[in-house]
């Protein structure tokens, strides 16, 4: 198996992104993302010096906010490769 960023076999969607990509995907500020991480609303993993934001957790948070405000769904949104 060749090395991939996804860590999964046969999948092209990553399971995590670094903080700058999470900010780009959501449009929230860096400081707000750190607040969400601290409160446990967004899950993350530390791998060495890197902080990886778990995309499932990030999607779940945004979907919960969408449900609370009645906005459109995020289906089909994925990070750029």
pLDDT of residue 78: 58
pLDDT of residue 76: 56
pLDDT of residue 69: 85
Query: Does some domain include residue 3?
Result: no
pLDDT of residue 10: 58
3-state secondary structure of 81: coil
Query: Does some domain include residue 54?
Result: yes
Structure-token match 């780009």, residue found: 24
Nearest to 25 by CA among 56, 49, 69: 56
Query: Does some domain include residue 70?
Result: no
Q: Which domain holds residue 52?
A: 16-63
The number of distinct structural domains making up the chain is 1
Query: Does some domain include residue 77?
Result: no
Structure-token match 């609370």, residue found: 68
Q: Tell whether pTM > 0.75.
A: no
pLDDT in tens, the chain (81 residues): 444 454 555 568 899 999 999 999 999 999 999 999 999 999 999 999 999 999 999 999 999 998 888 765 555 555 554
């Amino acid at each position: 198996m060749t090395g991939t960023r996804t860590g999964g076999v046969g999948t092209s969607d990553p399971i995590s992104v670094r903080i700058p990509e999470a900010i780009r995907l959501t449009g929230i500020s860096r400081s707000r993302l750190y607040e969400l991480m601290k409160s446990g609303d967004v899950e993350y993993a530390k791998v060495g010096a890197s902080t990886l934001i778990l995309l499932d957790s990030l999607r779940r948070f945004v979907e919960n906010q969408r449900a609370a405000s009645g906005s459109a769904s995020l289906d089909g949104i994925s990070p750029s490769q």
